[in-house]
Structure 1
Amino acid sequence: MLDLIIIGAGPAGLQAALTIGRMHRSAVVIDSGEYRNGPVQHMHNVIANDGTAPSAFREVARGQLEQYDTVEYRRGSVVRVSPSADGFEVRLADGSVVASSRLLLATGMADDLPAVPGLADLWGLRAFSCPFCDGHEFAGRRIGLIADSARAEHVVRLLKPIVSGVTVFDDGRLNDDERARLEALGADVHSTPVASVSAADDGVRVDAGSPVDVAGLFVASGSARQRAPFAEQLGLRMLPSGAIEIDDFGRTSLPGVWAAGDLAHRASMPGVMASVTVAASAGMVAGAMIVQELSS
């Protein structure tokens, strides 16, 4: 019986494992090899790691965990989690079962992109969702924004001080007032549906009735969902955003189960902030609070 099972080995899970290991508590961190930022070549807005490849970040973190004897790193896919008499049982795809008194979910969210041919191939390479993470790289250049809701104005306002211009592709779904506000901000609005997007030289070509070339794309439509089914399996309380509801310390609605990273947020927040730094912070807080609970 371990003190903790951590499902997910992104920044939240790895940081939680480090926190647990430094306090000589026993844990296993299970890594499926699937990450929300898997296609991304470089992380940004991460202090001391601005421009670091996510794969390199994870490799360094895993190497640092090796010096903590009480922490096991294990590759594998979890198929089911369930409460047990003494805590929780986690069943892996290879048939093995791991038991612990506490459980931390750090599996993150998965992006459901708009159904635009070619967009998935550019995702994380030339098409992005977060201006804080990737806007600076397009400084002084025109970018495109796929957006079919009022979120378009918010993203244009964020990008306006950085780029030379924004072309919004709204699929004809924005109303006249929304389009007028975007144009007042200096954005061009294309209402012809986007037929496809593709790499072109060092930028992106958007086929929206006629070709439109931009330096890169941002996407403010589509949605995100739980990457794994474990919140549903455990009957955890969820929020309208699709995230798990947690308190200030990462505790979920089920005693003994914690969540950290972009799969969870407090009810006081409108949604999750998809950030490596925020995820690592959440993992540290959850790990520390789990240690406190184990010690009481």
Structure 2
Amino acid sequence: MINSHPSSKPYDVAVVGAGSAGLQAAQTLGRMHRSTVVIGTDRYRNDPTGHMHNFLGHDGAPPAELRLAARKDAEAYDDVRFLDAVGAGVTRITGGLGDFLLEVEREEPVRARRVLLATGVRDTLPDVPGIAESFGALVAHCPFCHGHEYAGTRVGILGSAPHVAAMASMLQPIAEDRVVLTNGEALDEATAGHLAALGARVVTDPLVAVREECAGLVVALAGGAELALGGLLVKTEWKQAAPFVGQLGLELSDVGAVVVDAFGRTSVPGVYAAGDLAQGPGLPMPMASVLVAAAAGMMAAAACVQDAALARLS
């Protein structure tokens, strides 16, 4: 725990969030000798999973292990300090590109010249008993993160929207068999046609429950039938995990992500965003990946440094 700087000396940057995006941002800012406070808790989007995948040099490592090492790296820089607390609110306290005041639960308020949001999003899983208990391992939402672990098995894809056909196509070289579970919903004609052409089976019965059995899953269907799977891919609904986006009035994309440029700059000068909460130019949605989030954190931190340097020249 630390106390905030005196009001006469704000931090150069307040990083809110201590996942991969926030930790990489902190390291980058520390290396550039920018006074930085990282406000974060021990709650993360990938808490349910025991191992992360598709990350350079860390494939199969526990996410907590990476965060611990990353925090140790950032803490080695004298200009970086961590505040293990929940951020409650943020307010702009001067006009133009000025200072921000961050309210922190059970701590003194923190002032900063710039704010870098890395607070992530919160998932809501499909309302089927058993899915939450297996989410992060035998149930997942990303084939890039978990698809390989289902190789050679029958893989279920839960949903009826057009994306299920693309998912079935991506899994074709991985899965021995693919089954689309529409959970009682109807497929549109084009999606049904694509699945038929891919040789993917379609089961329309509603799901009653999902349970783990014999290193795999068993899906219980309405009517009493059961289906054994090696893994199940689902689509989660998500929303911003923290209130700061609304408090600052940041522009959002059609899917509810913070709109940023290639360097993580938001629609509000002095505010940057990185990680799962942000959507960069040309992307249809945030790219939910630990590696991408870390890279975005580095880019946003670099923008903080560059923008401050240019401001001093103007």
CA contact (8 A) 2:262 2:281 kept: no
Q: Deviations over 1:87-144 (max 9, x none)?
A: 1111111142111000000011111211111111111121111111111111111111
Q: Distance in 1 between matches of 2:286 and 2:176?
A: 29
Query: Is residue 217 of structure 2 the alignment partner of residue 208 of structure 1?
Result: no
Q: Which residue of 2 aligns with 1:277?
A: 291
Q: Which residue of 2 aligns with 1:40?
A: 49
Identical-residue share of aligned pairs (%): 42
Q: Distance in 2 between matches of 1:292 and 1:176?
A: 51
Q: Which residue of 2 aligns with 1:259?
A: 273
CA contact (8 A) 1:237 1:253 kept: yes
Aligned pairs (5 A) from 1:116-131: 116-131=128-143
Q: Distance in 2 between matches of 1:201 and 1:32?
A: 36
CA contact (8 A) 2:137 2:146 kept: no
Query: Is residue 104 of structure 2 the alignment partner of residue 92 of structure 1?
Result: yes
Amino acid at match of 1:12: A
Q: Which residue of 2 aligns with 1:186?
A: 199
CA contact (8 A) 2:208 2:221 kept: yes
SS of the aligned residue for 2:211 comes to: strand
Q: TM-score, normalised by structure 1?
A: 0.97
- Uncovered stretches (5+) of structure 2, i.e. residues with no partner: 1-9
SS of the aligned residue for 1:239 comes to: coil
Query: Is residue 259 of structure 2 the alignment partner of residue 250 of structure 1?
Result: no
SS of the aligned residue for 1:125 comes to: coil
Q: Distance in 2 between matches of 1:173 and 1:15?
A: 44
Amino acid at match of 1:135: G
Query: Whose radius of gyration is greater, 1 or 2?
Result: 2
Q: Deviations over 1:169-207 (max 9, x none)?
A: 112231344223212211111101111111112011111
Moved over 3 A (4+): none
CA contact (8 A) 1:156 1:187 kept: yes
Query: Is residue 26 of structure 2 the alignment partner of residue 12 of structure 1?
Result: no
Q: 1:95 to 1:18 in 2, by over 3 A?
A: closer
CA contact (8 A) 1:2 1:27 kept: yes
Query: Is residue 66 of structure 2 the alignment partner of residue 52 of structure 1?
Result: no
Q: Distance in 1 between matches of 2:32 and 2:191?
A: 53
Amino acid at match of 2:71: R
Q: Distance in 1 between matches of 2:295 and 2:176?
A: 34
Q: Distance in 2 between matches of 1:252 and 1:173?
A: 39
Give the aligned length: 295
Q: Distance in 1 between matches of 2:202 and 2:189?
A: 11
Aligned pairs (5 A) from 1:106-117: 106-117=118-129
Q: TM-score, normalised by structure 2?
A: 0.91
SS of the aligned residue for 1:195 comes to: strand
1:73 to 82, 90, 97: 82
After superposition, the CA RMSD in angstroms is 1.2
Q: Distance in 2 between matches of 1:176 and 1:240?
A: 26
Q: What is the deviation of 1:242? A: 0.8
Q: Which residue of 1 aligns with 2:232?
A: 217
1:198 to 211, 214, 227: 211
Q: Distance in 2 between matches of 1:204 and 1:118?
A: 10
